[in-house]
Amino acid sequence: MESANGAATGSAVTWRGRRGRRRALVALTTPAGLRTATAALVLAIVVFGAFAIGAARHRQDAADTVGLDATPLVVGAEELYPARADADATGSTAFLAAGAEPPALHARYLDDVDRAGRLLVDIAAQDRLSPDARDAVAELAAQLPRYARLVEAARTNSRLDNPVGAAYLRRASDLMTDEMLPTASGIYEEAAHRLDRGYRAGTSGAPIIGVLAAAALALALLVAVQSFVARRTRRIVNLGLLGATALVVALLGWAVTSFSAQQQALTRSERDGSDLLLALSTMRILALRSLSDENLHLIERGTVSSYRDDFADVTASISGPLMERARRSAPDEATRTEIGRIEGHHRNFVSVHDRIARLFGDDDEYAAAVDVAVTDLAAAAATVDEALGTEITAARTRLDDGADDARQRLRTLPVVLLIGIAAAIAAAVVGLQLRLREYR
Amino acid sequence: MNGGRAYRMGIALLFTGAVGTSGACSWTSPSSDALDSLDELPQTPTTAPTTTTAGAVTTTISASEAACEADGMGVKSYRPDGPPAPPGDLPAGSTMAALRDAGQIRVGVDENTLGLSSRNARTGDIEGFEVDLAREIAERIFGPDPPPEALDLVPVDTDKRQVVEDGDVDMTISAVSMSCDRWEQVAFSAEYYTADQQFLVRSDSPIRALEDLTGRTVCVTAGSSSEGILESSVPAAVLHPVDSRTECLVALQEGEVDAYFGHDTFLYGMTVQDPTMKVVPGLLAAEATVSHYGIAIAHGRDDLVRFVNAVLEELVADGTWGRLHDELQTDLPDLPDAPPPTPQYRD
């Protein structure tokens, strides 16, 4: 039984619990109740706002990481991979004295060293690098000129018919394979992990659950307060509280829609872009490594078996698991066709390698094998590299599109939330104040 | 009407709607195996780890070895039975006949030592004094002007005795210093060259006497006689063993070591390649640094050893050795003169 304006009587706030028994929370006078309600509502709406804005920030950061940080780092790390310079160095230096060294070959080697240096500067300039990545980049930046100097010493000595030239070349290639390539690999791997972390964070459910829970709490409180007010005052509709409720619901709807669209875009970015990008980048790194292996195998005249073994391992990786991954990650038919073409180019590269193996291993035709390596093998490797480069760029474009889309979706959300939360709080407070004033 | 109820129902409806909408939109979760591609990146470097076989040097000599050295058995080979038989007349069932019938003899040589045995970068062929000796031996087995595949020159390094023992080559001619201790592993021909071990330093080096080597870093080839001599004669020096002798020149040029202790046949080839290096002779007593080169041949092939000794005697007698040595001195102008060594036999 409710009393009208039960200010002095202090009737309890009741509701029907299970089995219809009336349960009482606490005996409240109406003004006290209204004041408590104001405070509780403001708190609940602010908490909802905080969760929502927090979630928006968290996801925005993740999308930014993907689009602005990790992707440029992955692509930069893959492009700088010094195996490119090594492949050209070993190709040019070893066969330099066997005839006139093609100036184009030496020029390409110098270009690659130069480019690696500039890419290192770019990567080092990224301000969100981890300390480990920063150290690795600094190390590479120190080793690159050392490598170039050793290669030059090898060339100069070879030109003078000094056998010590071979020792310098060995030193250069040891520096490359034992130190520089692992360091570069490390940078690339870390960049890829960072990209993955960005995707995880950008699509994780935890912040959303928080938002939903906070919204549920705020709405439940709004309902409770409105039913309290309706019972204690004879007004059923309180415009202020109604407005606050509508705003909270609308904000929740807006936020949910935004997050959902953002998540979709980010997922699309990963599925259509990043997966393929990683597979193709890794493939390109390994393809360059296999070219170096072949050159070094010939330089050492087959006395070092590890180069042949590595070539086999790397080739198996490319044509097996990586090609399979690439095919699976292709977003459309056109891309799948391109990947098929890349597979064909790579098969051609391997067949040139087989030809060299027959010439050198079986027929002991060293000079002929070298000739094939400097011309056909280098050309075949360049074809594979170019084709991979084109597809990597296309994958990167798709990745960037999705990431940009994701970032756009959340752009306005924090502002909308702030305004909406402020309005909701104002509406709730005003609505309750009007009732409160009647008790003075 | 019950306002509270209406409110509650309305809110519940709207909330369900919001959640439902969010559920209807695809909360697609991206693949978690995107990083699998990285598994294909190799983890280990391609080059096999270089093992410096420093353990091959014995610094303590056993009693039997001491007695062996006292008798000079380290440089005594098997006496030949006369001049080498011509190719058409090689004794049936002998190692030489078997090689002739197989059509190929495999000889281990260095490919980076200017003068003795190094690869011509232009032609790709290995040339030098030791290669010339190998060719002379081949001609005695296969006849004058044998086909190119008859003589298979196999590049060797610190494994130069091992490959003989393992049967990967038929003999090694690569500045192998004979000693009693090494006779346990392989047999040797008579001496074909007497070398001396010296120090190579940069031209501005302050090293002039043995004391100057205290605490300094000296490069040596791992497992070589030079390493053993240095360990016992100059223990205060810091040794820097490498796998291949040319690496010592690189180490000197790069400033990583203060000196290189090796055979003068190597050193004078290095001063040709780099005139800023100089040889510092006489820091150690001559008896300690002398090096008797012998051709390493597997045990059990004594007939081949005798045959090679017969060839060597003939080369000295008809002046070929002298001519080849002159060519060596043309390549290494500062190499001191040396008379052909007198062969010593154990009988």
Question: Looking at residue A134, what is its pLDDT?
Answer: 86
pLDDT for the residue numbered B26: 43
- State the pLDDT confidence band at B58, using cuts at 50, 70 and 90: very low
- How far apart, in whole angstroms, are the C-alpha atoms of residue B32 and residue A64? 20
Dihedrals φ, ψ of B86, to 5°? Answer: -65, 160
Residue with tokens 């197989």: B102
Range in A4-13, A191-200, A275-284 the model is least confident about:
A4-13
Across A350-380, b (16+ Cβ under 10 Å) vs e yields: bebbebbbebbeeeeeeeebbbbbbebbbeb
A212 to B30: CB separation less than 8 angstroms, yes or no: no
3-state helix, strand, coil in chain B (%, to 5): 40, 20, 40
How big, in percent rounded to 5, are the helix, strand and coil portions of chain A?
85, 0, 15
Interface subset of B 193-222, CB within 8 angstroms of A: none
User: Nearest 5°: phi and psi at A9?
Assistant: -80, -25
Residue A20 has pLDDT above 60, yes or no: no
- Give the model's confidence band at B18: pLDDT under 50 very low, under 70 low, under 90 confident, else very high: low
Lowest mean pLDDT among A87-96, A253-262, B19-28: B19-28
Mean pLDDT of B211-222: 93
Of A167, A185, A228, the CB nearest to B247: A167
Residues B167, B284 contacting (CB under 8 angstroms): no
Mutate which: B9, B15, B46, vs A, most A CBs within 10 A:
B46
Cβ proximity of A311 and A292 under 8 Å: no
| pLDDT digit string, tens, across residues B289-318 | 899 999 999 999 999 999 999 999 999 999
Q: Does residue B202 carry a pLDDT above 90? A: yes
Q: Is the pLDDT of residue B47 over 60?
A: no
pLDDT at residue B159, as a whole number: 86
Q: What pTM value is reported for the model?
A: 0.79
Average pLDDT in chain A: 85
Query: Range with the lowest mean pLDDT among A25-39, A288-302, A310-324?
Result: A25-39
Over pLDDT 70: what percentage of chain A?
90
Residue numbers in A near B19 (CB within 8 A): 212, 256
Inform me whether the pLDDT recorded for A217 exceeds 50: yes
Segment B137-194, tens digit of pLDDT: 999 999 999 998 899 999 888 889 999 999 999 999 999 999 999 999 999 999 999 9
Runs of H (alpha helix) within A204-299:
206-232, 239-269, 275-299
Checking if the pLDDT of B327 tops 90, the result is: yes
In the predicted model, what is the mean pLDDT of residues A372-397?
91
- Quote the CA–CA distance of A438 and A339 in Å, as a whole number: 76
**Beta strands B217-221 and B238-242, pairing class:** parallel
Q: Shortest Cα distance from A210 to chain B (angstroms)?
A: 13
Q: Pick from A60, A54, A48: which is nearest to A422 by CA?
A: A48
**HSE toward the beta carbon, residue B245, CA cutoff 13 A:** 33
Give me the residues of A, 153-172, that contact B with CB < 8 A. Answer: 153, 157-158, 160-168, 170-171
Tell me what pLDDT residue A362 has.
74
Q: Label residue B35 by pLDDT band (50, 70, 90).
A: confident
Any CB–CB contact under 8 A between B274 and chain A?
A: yes
Nearest to B244 by CA among B264, B263, B262, B221: B221
B-chain residues near A274 (CB < 8 A): 34
Mean of pLDDT values over B68-74? 82
Average pLDDT over residues A225-247: 84
pLDDT confidence of residue A227:
85
pLDDT-derived band of residue B14, with 50, 70 and 90 as boundaries? low
Segment A159-165 mean pLDDT: 86
At residue A122 the predicted structure's pLDDT band, cuts being 50, 70 and 90, is: confident
Predicted confidence (pLDDT) per residue in A61-72, tens digit: 999 888 888 888
SS3 state of residue B172: strand
HSE-up of residue A250 (Cα within 13 Å, Cβ side): 13
> What's the alpha-carbon Rg for chain A, to the nearest Å?
34
Higher pLDDT, B275 or A15: B275
Cβ neighbours of B331 in A, within 8 Å:
none
Backbone angles phi, psi at B231, to 5 degrees: -60, -40
